Every structure is written in C-alpha cells, then in structure tokens.
Structure 1
Amino acid sequence: MNFKKIGIIGGGQLGKMMVLEGKKLGLHFTVLDPSMDCPAFSIVDEYIEGDFYDKDKIRKLAEATDLITYEFEHIDADILMELKEEGYKIYPTPSTLKIIQDKFQQKNFLRQCNVPVPDFDAVDSVEALDAAVDKYGLPLLLKSCRGGYDGKGNYLIRHREEIPKAYHTLGGDATQLMVEAFVPFIKEVSVVVARGVDGEIKVYPLAENIHENNILKTTIVPARVNKVVAHKAQALALKTMELLKGVGIFCVEMFVDADDDVLVNEIAPRTHNSGHYTIEACSTSQFAQHIRAILGLPLGETKLLKPAVMINLLGGDGYDGRAKLVGAEEILAIPEVYLHFYGKTYTQPERKMGHVTVLAEDVDSALSKGDKVKELMRIIAEE
C-alpha cells in the first residue's frame, strides 16, 4: 500500500471518523472545508480552507494528495470530472456523483434499470404541480432536485391550497423541482454497501430507521422485518451498487410498504448516519471499509457481532450557542454504551452533535438501554 495521502472534501463528522480509521493504516489526510472549526480539523495532517464549489481549492487538494474522496455529495462535480480526465484518482467516481447529485436524474436512472422507486415527475410551474396532484393525489411530496438533506428541500403537500406556497418555498421558477407520489410506508430501512475498485462487494445488515421532522433519530439493527423483506432490500442494494459501479461506501435508503414491497427512496454515495452502528457492532466499520474500498484493499467482513441501536444526539430545542454535553458520565456507566461526540463548538436545535451506540444480546434489550440513554443524555448551550 505504501504511504498514501488522502484528500477529503468535507471536514464534518463523517470525514473525522474516516480519518480516525485511516490513521490506523498510517495514512496522511488533507481536508478541504470552509471552516477551521470543522470536526476533522484537529486530527488532520493538512487543512485547506475553501468552499465546496471552489474549483481552484479542489484542484489544490487533488495536487496535494494521491486520491480524493468526499463525505457528502453537495460539491462541484464538474471540476471533479475534469480532474478525473486529467488522471487524478477520485472515488466514488465523479460520473457516479453526477447521477446521484440530481434526485430526478437519480430516480430516472433507477427506473430505467428496473429498480422499483416511487412514481415521480419533473415540475416547472404551479400549473404542472397542480396537474401532478390530479395524477398522483394527496399527500404529494415536492422536492428540490439538488441540494436537499435532512428534510431540507422537501415539502409535503397535504392540501391543494398549499400548491403555490410549496412551489415558491422551494424556489419556484428559479430551481429544478420534482414530485414524488407519497408512499404509505410502514418502515424506513437502509443498507450500507461497499464496492472495491476491483468490483468486490460487501453488504451490511439491514437497518431500520426512525425519523422525526425528516431527521434520523434512531437506527435499529437488525431491522424488525421478515426474511422476505430483508432479502429484497439487500438484493436491491446489491443491484443498485452493481448498476452504478460505485467505489467506496454507499447507503441505499428504502421504504417498506404494507405488502412487503420495497422501494428505493434515495442513494448516498458516502458513509452514512444510519451506518454509524457499524463502528462497534460489525467486524469492519463503514469508515474502515470505505478506506479499504478506495485504496483497492480487500474488503472486510460485515458480520453483525451484536444487535445494536444507534441514537443521534441532536441540539436541544431552545438552545443556540456554545455546546455543552449533559449526561455523559451516567450513560458511560451503562455496559456496552459507546458515546461519539463530534466536537462541534456550537449547538442549535436539531443539529447533529454526536451519536450513541448501544449493544445488547437482542434488539429489545438494546432498545431498553437506548431509552435510558435518551433520558439521561442531552445537548444544551452554555449560559
């Protein structure tokens, strides 16, 4: 493997956890991020201050490293395409990123490949949105094609009177929008899957995700679904990865309906919040696996060692300011409870500040310990 210099676009918690795993292999890391206050700053070897759409700074990162990866998808894919053509190594590949960055293109690609997805259409006017309501009924989900995350860029239309407001709230004529038929799902699940440069693929256990206000609150592994659903979901994740020919870690988020049908919701070309449980609960964490995949190393085993529950630590309601962690000593006194505090200086409501993973002999026991963690742990602002 020799001594490798890895460049990461993004210095958030995902980048930080990637660096922590890569340091075990003696790797050198340079991070590009707009803020020196980013979680990864304190542990990287070099830092480049720059915007994620700054072509010059991204080129500087490429010239300073042997390989570029990224911790989220909202970056300038065009400069990455240029750099790839010039011979720089970039994983996941910019062509894969281009497909996934635009939700309409992503869904179109999947539908053309016979991957089941919710019904969808592009809309470019209030009148087109009104027609989509006639076609698909209510509720109906309006989405920004680019840039949304954690529910940002989404508007669930429940009443016809909301159509003009929904359209203009998401940018109206100034942005690309799409609609998706609402799926009356009974569960949201996800599969983390890894693909190496040689095409080797490893699939992680199916995770069950619980969202509130479109933000992931809890992940439960193994997912509480029957074997038919678990097989369908993992097969879909495998097929999606093979179609995209992605390299690195990808997360495929899916809906499960009352008929046990599984539909692909969205794909993330990176390590993912719902895969954090892998750090303690699996033979190989998603972050270590991503490093292996992009470096062309053999992929690690993905076996679940114990049932797990991952709880996101979000900024508390009414708190905005310098972050203070409350309850750490109490939860760390509970066996098989693992705290990850990302080191973000400031908190605000629903900002992802950390996570806790609990392990147990069965899911019910893990959930019970998780409830205790939720009672004891919170993020507030210092007075």
Structure 2
Amino acid sequence: MLAEAAQELGVSLHVQTPGAHDPATAAASSVVLAPLEDLHATRQLARRCAAISFENEWLDLAALGALAAEGIRFVPGLEALEQLVSKRSQRQLLNRLNLPSPRWCGLEEVLRPLPRQVSAEEGGDHDRPDPQRSEDHQQDPDEPIAPRLPDGLSFPVMAKASTGGYDGKGTRVLATQVDLESLLADVDPHDWILEQLVSFELELAQLACRDRHGRVQCYPLVQTHQHQQVCDWVLAPAPVPHAVQAHARNLAASLLTAIGYVGMVSLELFYGPGGLQVNEIAPRTHNAGHFTIEACQTSQFAQQLRIVAGLPMGPAELCVPGALMVNLLGFSAAESDYLDQRDALAQLPDAVLHWYGKTGPGLGRKLGHLTLTLHDPDPAQRTQEAMARLATVRQIWPLPPAG
C-alpha cells in the first residue's frame, strides 16, 4: 500500500526485501533483494534514495546506528525509535512522560527474595526478622526463590514478550500462580513484561504524524475490535465523546513532541471507567489506519511518504461521514485464493476491496481488507449502519474458527 501511494504521488520508492515475491516489489521503482539485516545491501539502498523508512519496528538499531553515523538518514530517527521498539522501553517512556498506561513490571521482578522464616527453636516470634531491615533480609543462595507479583499487581495479568509479538503472538494471560510459574519455566524473564489486565469498554486507536519541522496532525480517533487478539474491524470515527477524542489527540501530540518523532505512529488505547490508557505504540503505518485510503483526504501511506520525502503534510480529516474497515482473515486451513468470496465482496455497494497477494496457508492471517463508506451523519445511527454492513460481510466472509 505504501508502494501504491508512492505511484500516485509520483515519488520513487526503492525497497529492500528478502522476498522476490514480496507484494511491494511489483510497484517499487527498484528492489534490493537481500535480508533486512544485510548492511551492505542497506548502503546500496541508501545510494538510491534521500531517506530510509521502515515497514515494521523489528530492527537492529545498533547496526543501523553505524549507517546513520555515515550520514544515511532514517525516518523516523533511530533515537526516537529506540524508545518504541520494545514493549518494555515503551512502558518506561510512558512512565517518564506521565502518560496513562496499565501498571506493569519486568517479569524478572517476580523473582525477588522472600524474608527467611524463623522457627521457634531459633527464637520464635519474639526474634522473627524484620523484612524492612536489610540485615535481616538475607536470602540463602541455595534457597529457591518463590515468584510473586510485586505490590500493585494482582492476578489476572497479561504477560507480553518485549519484542517480536504481533497479532496476539507473544502474549499470555496469567490467571494464577501456577500460570506464572509455567511461564517462568518457558522463557527468559528479562525478555518479558507483566501488565495489569485492564477492564475496558472499548479499544481505540489514534493515528498521528509529525513532520521534521515539529508540526503534528491527528487522524480521527477510531474504534477497533479484535478476534482472537487479531484486529477484526475498525470503525471511524469512534463513537465516543468529543472530550475523549481531544484527550487521545493530546496524548499522541505529547508523545511525538517529547521524543522528536518524525513520521506516522499509532497509539492503541483502552477506554473504560478510568478514562484512556495507552496499551501499545506502533511506530509506523498501522492496520487501524487502512480506512484512510478511501475515507480521509490524505491516506496514512501517502502521509508517511510525504513526511519522509520532505513534502508538506496533507490534511488528515475524513472526506466521508464515516467508514468501516473489515480485515479479511483467512478462514480456510488449505491454501486458497478465495475468488468467489472476493468477487462477492467487490459487488457490495460503497465498498473497496484490497487484496494483498500473500502466498502460503492463510488461516487466521490478514489476507486483505474491505473498506465500506458509511453515510449516516448521526453517530449512533452510523454505528448501527456499520454493524448492519458488517453482518452482510460476514455472510460472505466468515471469521476463522476459534483455536
């Protein structure tokens, strides 16, 4: 979709990818066929373009830093990205900026020593050590450490891999002490974090962008809905009060400005009795923003390219009353091109089908998306319109089975 936007803008887009059949290769101006960690190939790429941007945040920043020192320009900058490429660094950043987010800790923090228990023969209760006194709080090095949640966290909690998790991968809900001990047996605790499971009414996403001159623009706040921790559909604009929309814009602007971020970003948010909380930050164009291709004056992809190329940002407002974007998640275990379903979806009124051309088995994968224009000006009626249109899509394209 970035490559298609580049063609429409008349911007030359050069791609480094290890896959000769990567969907972007067909529309790119040129292709450097090499693994993303191949720095020699990235130098070749840099000689063809003014700046390099990224499709995802799974990056070796230390290696790229050597290229930045040679004068190669990255957008976003590596210093800003360093604070966003892992869930742990995101949580640390949100804490420093005092932006609302769930309580959390590093998984290694559950392995704290407990006070040594004193038997009656050793002095009974009268001589029991005070756990607040460091001289009495000494752990026998041969004594096993019982994992326990730190103060402020209680079961259930969400465990997340600090890096690499996507669409529900790299996460576990821990409901009991047994679940916690099972996770510790499987992973390196320094690579995971724990978050308090949040009670929320809606999941939201705020897309925003900032250019190299410090100007910030926000897209309409959207509601997202998940199926088995994968985004199922997105409703724009979100059916929430104007004060909530303004708060989300302020959160995004504060974050981008504080770290000097340049480019597109998406804040995934929880909205509930406690107001807004930042769940995760995606430093790139985002699935929740695919609706912008048809529904906004400037798509998120065109906006990212404009910022990287140093062009003025385009307006981010809706050009229709609303839109529903439905992800087309593979529902067949066998490899399929879903031609009948795609033909039926393409016949729906006020609908635009995007098919990604992915190869291989697709059960549960995002194989494409459908954007449907909504027309009702009333927010409540527009939500009903969206759900009616979603039901029509479901008759053609069912959700993948659970499990």
Normalising by the residue count of structure 1, what TM-score does the alignment of the two structures yield?
Answer: 0.89
The residue type equivalent to 1:289 in the other structure is Q
**Farther off after superposition, 102-111 or 270-279:** 102-111
Aligned ranges 1:26-175 → 2 under 5 Å = 26-124=10-108, 127=111, 130-132=147-149, 135-169=152-186, 171-173=187-189
Partner Cα distance (1:125, 1:320) in 2: 43
Residue 312 in 1 paired to residue 327 in 2? yes
- TM-fit CA distance, 1:180: 1.0
Partner Cα distance (2:387, 2:19) in 1: 36
Residue 272 in 1 paired to residue 280 in 2? no
Cα deviation digits, residues 32-56 of structure 1 (max 9, x gap): 1221121112211222222233333
Alignment check: 8 A CA contact 1:322 1:345 kept: no
Return the match for 1:339 from 332, 344, 353.
353
Q: Quote the residue 1:375 is aligned against.
A: 395
Return the match for 1:357 from 333, 346, 371.
371
Q: Which has the larger radius of gyration?
A: 2
Alignment check: 8 A CA contact 2:110 2:150 kept: no
Cα deviation digits, residues 218-239 of structure 1 (max 9, x gap): 1011112122222211211111
The number of aligned residues is 360
Partner Cα distance (2:86, 2:49) in 1: 28
The residue type equivalent to 1:302 in the other structure is A
Return the match for 1:218 from 233, 246, 249.
233
Cα deviation digits, residues 84-127 of structure 1 (max 9, x gap): 22211110111111111121111111211111111111122763
Structure 1, gaps ≥5 residues long: 1-16
Partner Cα distance (2:85, 2:162) in 1: 8
Alignment check: 8 A CA contact 2:16 2:42 kept: yes
Residues 89/207 of structure 1: CA separation in 2 closer, same or farther (3 Å cut): same
Q: Quote the residue 2:266 is aligned against.
A: 251
Alignment check: 8 A CA contact 2:110 2:149 kept: no
Partner Cα distance (1:59, 1:165) in 2: 44
- TM-fit CA distance, 1:80: 2.1
Q: Quote the residue 1:200 is aligned against.
A: 215
Partner Cα distance (1:324, 1:267) in 2: 33
Residue 366 in 1 paired to residue 386 in 2? yes
Partner Cα distance (1:56, 1:325) in 2: 41
The residue type equivalent to 2:393 in the other structure is V
Partner Cα distance (2:149, 2:340) in 1: 47
Alignment check: 8 A CA contact 1:323 1:379 kept: no
Partner Cα distance (1:168, 1:203) in 2: 43
- TM-fit CA distance, 1:24: 2.0
Cα deviation digits, residues 252-297 of structure 1 (max 9, x gap): 11111124x1111111111000000100111110011111111221
Q: Point out the structure with the larger strand share.
A: 1
- TM-fit CA distance, 1:167: 2.7
- TM-fit CA distance, 1:133: 6.4
Q: Quote the residue 1:14 is aligned against.
A: none
**Farther off after superposition, 113-122 or 367-376:** 367-376
- TM-fit CA distance, 1:139: 0.8
Residue 25 in 1 paired to residue 9 in 2? yes
Partner Cα distance (2:8, 2:84) in 1: 30
The residue type equivalent to 1:374 in the other structure is R
Alignment check: 8 A CA contact 1:132 1:179 kept: no
Partner Cα distance (1:345, 1:123) in 2: 37
Q: Quote the residue 1:234 is aligned against.
A: 249
- TM-fit CA distance, 1:165: 2.0
Residues 379/102 of structure 1: CA separation in 2 closer, same or farther (3 Å cut): closer
- TM-fit CA distance, 1:379: 9.7
SS at match of 2:84: helix
The residue type equivalent to 1:282 in the other structure is C
SS at match of 2:67: helix
Structure 2, gaps ≥5 residues long: 113-145, 377-381
Alignment check: 8 A CA contact 1:55 1:76 kept: no
The residue type equivalent to 1:44 in the other structure is A
When the two chains are superposed, the root-mean-square deviation of aligned CA atoms in Å is 2.0
SS at match of 2:149: helix
